[in-house]
Amino acid sequence: MSSPTPPTSGLLELMHIIEKLKTTKRSGWVRLGVPGPERCVMLALVHDLAEAEVGDITPHDGISREEKHRREALAIEKFTADLLPAQSVASQRLKSLWLEYEDGQTREAKFVKDLDRFELALQGVEYERRDKLASIQTFFETTVPLIKHPEVAGWAHELMDERASIQGSEPFVKDYKDVRPLP
């Protein structure tokens, strides 16, 4: 009778590969001057982690910013209390990253917020295409003008031009010019 191969050997190898992803320098991000790209990935994941628990609350849901923040903070507390040892380094890091994103004061947090806004606009264009929606203009009016990072603003500019060409209309809305990167 031969001894079975431990079932975790392949899993462990995969985990080592995933671990490398957290520290591999992202060439494009570094070239574009994105500060701490790995940190940006962590900020985005932690932000979405809170939303996974409470849902993607929007201003149209009639829930105040304060209440949204409270619910998401409780979700993060739940994750750190129920799934991680409360005072562990991982627990404290998770809380710290979530607060950093919410406060939006670091360059990384600002960049990730702009990526989140861009992704919402991209999703809106995809919905219009796929579902043949007449218009979901508020997707764009409430997100695109808020994008400040020059690179992300450039992507938003291209996306809005693409949207206009698909719809056969003029690009975007008032304040769209504010999104266009400087020549």
Identify the burial level of 141 via C-beta atoms within 10 angstroms of its C-beta, where 0-12 means exposed, 13-18 middle and 19 or more buried.
Answer: middle
pLDDT in tens, 97-147: 999 999 999 989 999 999 999 998 998 888 888 887 766 787 788 889 999
State which of 76, 103, 130 marks the end of a domain.
Answer: 103
The radius of gyration of the chain's CA atoms, rounded to the nearest angstrom, is 20
Cα 84 to its chain centre, rounded Å, is 23
Across the range 169-182, mean pLDDT stands at 47
96: in domain: yes
- The domain in which residue 77 lies consists of 34-103
Residue 29 lies in a domain: no
pLDDT one-digit tens code per residue, 53-80: 899 888 789 999 999 999 999 999 988 8
pTM flag (> 0.85): no
Least confident piece of the model among 7-16, 19-28, 102-111: 7-16
Residue 88 has pLDDT above 50, yes or no: yes
Q: Is the same domain home to 72 and 92? A: yes
Q: Does residue 182 have a pLDDT over 50?
A: no
What average pLDDT does the chain have? Answer: 79
Same structural domain for residues 91 and 125? Answer: no
Which pLDDT score, from 0 to 100, does residue 18 have? Answer: 60
Q: Please state, as a whole number, how many other Cβ atoms lie within 10 Å of the Cβ of residue 11.
A: 10
> Of 47, 68, 103, which marks where a domain is finished?
103
Q: Which two tokens stand for residue 56?
A: 């993607």
Tokens for 70, please give them: 């409270």
45 shares its domain with 81: yes
